[in-house]
A and B are shown apart, each in its own frame.
With several copies, the nearest count.
Chain A
Amino acid sequence: MKLVVAVIKPHMVDTVKDALQGAGVHGLTVSEANGFGRQRGHTEVYRGAEYTVDLVPKVRIEVLVEAEEAQAVADTLVQAARTGKIGDGKVWIMPVEEVIRVRTGERGTDAL
């Protein structure tokens, strides 16, 4: 089992979700995040003072997958989330030792 995590631009979530479904992923979990990286937030002039905002809204996606599918899912994610502009985000893969479906208690692949 692997966990594929992606931090991407908020407006790409829909495309990513469709792409993942197309690639046979049946579930995922999404949460809000803020990113700091090369992409800087906008510089603001607000009421006569200037500020740089350096945290930009991102969405964090987690997908549990079978080990052998992890690379493929990560690639799908990367394709779908790409706009080619700075701040597109990161995708990474982490090891998972056990997965359980709460409703049934099924474990491993059956739990996905």
Chain B
Amino acid sequence: MDSGDTSWVLASAALVLLMTPGLALFYGGMVRAKSVLNMMMMSFGSLALVSVLWVLYGYSMTFGTDKSKVIGDPGEYLGLKGLMDPEALSGTIPTMAFVAFQGVFAVITVALISGAIADRAKFGTWMVFVGIWVTLVYFPVAHWVWGGGWIMKDVEAIDFAGGTAVHINAGVAGLALALVLGKRIGFAKEPMRPHNLPLVMIGAGLLWFGWFGFNAGSAVAANATASVAWVNTFVATGAATLGWLLTERFRDGHATSLGAASGVVAGLVAITPACHSVSPVGAIALGALAGVLCALAVGLKYRFGYDDSLDVVGVHLVGGLVGTLAIGLLADPDAPAGASGLLAGGGASLLGKQAIGAFSVLGYSLIVTLIIGLVLEKTIGFRVTTETEVSGIDLDVHAESGYDLTPATSGAFRQQSSKAAAPTGEGAMA
């Protein structure tokens, strides 16, 4: 066991954990004031449920002994049994550190999806969806890509930190749910602008920070590979942000702060699979490309009429594809992965592998998510009533509203009738 590597993986796991609350803020700021809490609850709910499922059987399904390159043995590490043994190592670190690091990946992937169905999903149904989706889609896909499954072993596609397993996967699942739930009332008619852009910026900042654990932590060691991943993550993001802002400036006349925040995320998404296979200059190219393409892609929903409310498709699916496929072009043999892309004279074979990996996951996730979504919609219902949606999901579903900032309503009004209610189950605490 190497304490330095363990230190970095534990720190990285904490960084990735922070990404989910960061995402809650990023998404929460983008919706209208009346649904900010519901939006954040979808992320917090994912964190709560997925952490438990991961420990119970998720880790085992993903990293248990491979069965036919399709799934890990779910019984092997049921409830993480045997893994507290100090001798249990994954490479140079305790297996429990690896469990931690991979667990937070599962959480954030599910949470990402929620951006596509802002303002209109029943919270209870969302929670049921989270449990089913992570089991039927995320655990298998992560096994294929990282746990010894067919994409890793047979296709041999490069996905360093999750372009395919996380972003394409979540992005297309978002698309599926957006189709199942349908458009928000007023979609493409009302602007539905972010109600709190500083909140979006806080979220973007925390995502950015956490992503260094996501990408550089994926080296599962504190070494040169992690360092290269760090620098590539840094510079690709900068280039993507510039790309997005210039696209906006050129097309709309203004560089917006939502554009800056989105550009940051687009760059982070795109470099995720590629951060140990391209050079820093390649990362600049990749980032800039992702920034421009994602800035254009977020407009597609108006053209095709699906309400991907917070641009999960435009940023995560498109950005994930850009990053995954660009490896086939830009992979630099001097980078830690040692692979050569088309432009480095490595021929088209790497591009082919990348495409197979990406589109297989895209297809699988799209179909399975559509089925899960439709079944839930037909049985317990997935979308709230029109009245709830118009008057605001926070008040109806969570019995709260995000803000109470005005002097007159904060404390000035004593309530007509109010009584302290005893907790149900009178003697429960006695």
Binding site for B on A (CB under 8 A): 10-11, 13-14, 17-18, 30, 32, 34, 40, 42, 44-55, 57, 59
Q: Are B415 and A54 in contact (CB under 8 A)?
A: yes
Complex CA distance for A48 and B259, rounded to whole angstroms: 11
Report A7 CB to chain B, min CB distance, Å. 12
- With A44-B399, A49-B421, A50-B421 known as contacts, the answer to whether A55 contacts B409 (CB < 8 A) is yes
Complex CA distance for A18 and B252, rounded to whole angstroms: 28
Report B317 CB to chain A, min CB distance, Å. 16
Q: Are A47 and B258 in contact (CB under 8 A)?
A: yes
CB contacts (< 8 Å) of B300 on chain A: these are 48
- CB of B296 closer than 8 Å to a CB of A: yes
| Chain B 276-330 residues near chain A, CB threshold 8 A | 296, 298-300, 302, 311
Complex CA distance for A40 and B417, rounded to whole angstroms: 11
CB contacts (< 8 Å) of A52 on chain B: these are 415-418
Complex CA distance for A52 and B408, rounded to whole angstroms: 17
20 inter-chain pairs at a CB distance below 8 angstroms, sorted by A residue, are: A17-B413, A32-B406, A34-B409, A45-B252, A47-B258, A47-B259, A47-B299, A48-B300, A48-B422, A49-B191, A49-B299, A49-B419, A49-B420, A49-B421, A50-B418, A51-B191, A53-B191, A53-B415, A54-B415, A59-B412
> Chain B, interface size: which category?
35 or more
Q: Which 9 A-B pairs have the closest CB atoms?
A: A48-B299, A50-B421, A45-B252, A14-B414, A51-B191, A54-B416, A51-B418, A10-B408, A49-B420
Complex CA distance for A17 and B416, rounded to whole angstroms: 9
Residue of B nearest to A31 (CB): B408
Complex CA distance for A40 and B415, rounded to whole angstroms: 11
Interface string of B254-268 (1 = CB under 8 A from A): 001011000000000
**Which of B406, B407, B413, B421 lies in contact with A45, CB distance below 8 A?**
B421
Q: Are A32 and B421 in contact (CB under 8 A)?
A: no
CB contacts (< 8 Å) of B391 on chain A: these are 11
- With A14-B413, A50-B420 known as contacts, the answer to whether A57 contacts B399 (CB < 8 A) is no
CB contacts (< 8 Å) of A11 on chain B: these are 390-391, 411-412
CB contacts (< 8 Å) of B415 on chain A: these are 51-54
CB contacts (< 8 Å) of A44 on chain B: these are 191, 399
- CB of B193 closer than 8 Å to a CB of A: yes
Complex CA distance for A63 and B220, rounded to whole angstroms: 66
Report A84 CB to chain B, min CB distance, Å. 13
CB contacts (< 8 Å) of A17 on chain B: these are 413
Report B409 CB to chain A, min CB distance, Å. 7
Binding site for A on B (CB under 8 A): 188, 190-191, 193, 251-253, 256, 258-259, 296, 298-300, 302, 311, 390-391, 395, 399, 406-409, 411-423
Report A32 CB to chain B, min CB distance, Å. 5
CB contacts (< 8 Å) of A10 on chain B: these are 407-408, 412
Complex CA distance for A57 and B404, rounded to whole angstroms: 12
CB contacts (< 8 Å) of B420 on chain A: these are 48-50
Q: Are A46 and B417 in contact (CB under 8 A)?
A: no
Report B289 CB to chain A, min CB distance, Å. 18
Complex CA distance for A10 and B34, rounded to whole angstroms: 12
Complex CA distance for A4 and B253, rounded to whole angstroms: 40
Report A42 CB to chain B, min CB distance, Å. 7
Report B375 CB to chain A, min CB distance, Å. 32
Residue of A nearest to B251 (CB): A45
Report B250 CB to chain A, min CB distance, Å. 12
Report B340 CB to chain A, min CB distance, Å. 36
**Which of B296, B412, B419 lies in contact with A14, CB distance below 8 A?**
B412
**Which of A30, A32, A46, A55 lies in contact with B193, CB distance below 8 A?**
A46
- With A42-B399, A48-B302 known as contacts, the answer to whether A32 contacts B418 (CB < 8 A) is no
Considering residues B253, B296, B399, which has the most beta carbons from chain A within 10 angstroms of its beta carbon? B399
Residue of A nearest to B399 (CB): A44
Residue of B nearest to A47 (CB): B298
CB contacts (< 8 Å) of B407 on chain A: these are 10, 32, 57
CB contacts (< 8 Å) of B311 on chain A: these are 47
CB contacts (< 8 Å) of A14 on chain B: these are 412-414
CB contacts (< 8 Å) of A55 on chain B: these are 409, 413
